[in-house]
Chains A and B, each alone.
Chain A
Amino acid sequence: MKITVQLFARARDLAGAEHVELDVPAPGRVADLKRSLASRFPQVSPLVPSLLVAVGTDYANDQTQLSPDVAVACFPPVSGG
């Protein structure tokens, strides 16, 4: 399945795009999405171990199930404040 992912901060800069469409085997989990992101954008792969993933406006974990209709965002550790 195709999943559109929104990227932020250094993840976006390294990928060179704010929105990327990734191929994830169905039924896919967040862990599959991270693998897909790393293989499509090798320059992002050093960030992947610390990458945070959100489905909608909630944090997901590697086991979170994905479907094509969910809004997914990936970003490195936050630094607000």
Chain B
Amino acid sequence: MIQITNDTIDYAALTERVRSEQAGAVVLFLGTVREMTDGRKTTALDYEAFPQMAEAKFKELLDEARGRWPIVNAAIVHRLGRLELGDVSVAVAVSTPHRQQAFEAGRHLIDRLKEVVPIWKKENWADGTTEWVHPGTANGSAECGIRNAE
């Protein structure tokens, strides 16, 4: 299941959705809006996407993960628009027969999502300034330091 939405992510429902009698393990990852980044205070994040391509990339990531781990069910939901502190921006839920597979697949999905899916966040700093986050560019604060190269 893949979804790009402007609404609050119901991660409890998403977790229920991937649960299965075939799976002994369920891992849920949530990305949430953090207040402090390198000593600077954030008031909100604005997310935007290239929706058609983002959906295509989500599908590719799920196919890639299904080829590497025995995934029973997997779901990715990303939220767009204005998100306040603590809001959930992304949820990745995976179920597999055993826990190691679920942890690995979940981690792989969120790591690859941050590298290849065309979604961007803009910081709204407490001092009133705004700044697009574009890792690897001159003034694009690198949240994870990963350069995008596909």
Contact = CB atoms under 8 A, between A and B. Distances in A.
Tell me if B's interface is mostly helix, strand, loop or mixed: mixed
A80 B134 contact: no
B137 A77 contact: yes
Given A78-B114, A81-B110, 11 more contacts: A6-B50, A9-B48, A10-B120, A50-B137, A54-B50, A78-B120, A79-B121, A79-B133, A79-B135, A80-B47, A80-B118
A73 B53 CA distance: 10
Interface residues of B, number: 36
Given A9-B134, A46-B138, A54-B118, A78 B148 contact: yes
Interface of B: 31, 47-50, 52-54, 56-57, 78, 89-90, 110, 113-122, 132-138, 140, 143, 147-148, 150
A interface: dominant SS: mixed
